[in-house]
Amino acid sequence: LIENGDVDCLICRAPEVLAQEWEFIALQHDRFAVVAAPDHPLVGKRSVSLADLEAATWLVTPSSVAARVAFDELFESSPQPPSTFSVVTASPTMVWALLANKGLLALLPTSVVQHLLDGEHLSELHWHTPRAFADIGVLLPLHERSEALECFVRFIRSYAAADGGEDLGNVVESNGIAD
């Protein structure tokens, strides 16, 4: 889509490789968080250890999802992998329902669960090593942008900054080189 010019822009995570003549403007930082229902026994702990996490039962995402890769990396050196729930899902509604009712933990991007954390439907555990995740932003051509696209980019940059985030618009990469 990008190479053919079939799209004006994409809202996506920062690409590992940037297409020639395109740039990425970061709008929101993201990271993985260990989350659970507010009444989970580990939520009240001041500090959660790796042993606590290994002893818990986890809701995991499918292996093709970045959160599953992060989960596997978290426990790759554990002598005994943690127990996982028999349902594997990436559905936000299913994740919330299962975490709320089954006493499970999940490792998920904060961008996916922030509204549930804000509404106190889920809680983040005090785990000392949050893992960064690629920024979310807009991928757009370097040249020949329409006025409508420029207006849209100004809007989403201001919206992202007003939504409690910082204005990350100055973190721009063009063809992999920081401006």
User: Three-state SS for 175?
Assistant: coil
How long is the chain?
Answer: 179
- If one counts every other C-beta atom within 10 angstroms of the C-beta of residue 104, the result is 22
Q: Which residues touch 48 (CB under 8 Å, ≥6 apart)?
A: 34, 42, 125, 126, 127, 128
pTM for this model (two decimals): 0.78
Task: Judge contact between 93 and 44, C-beta under 8 A.
Answer: no
In degrees rounded to 5, what are phi and psi of residue 157? Answer: -65, -45
Residue-wise pLDDT for 7-47, tens only, equals 889 999 999 888 888 899 999 999 999 999 999 999 989 98
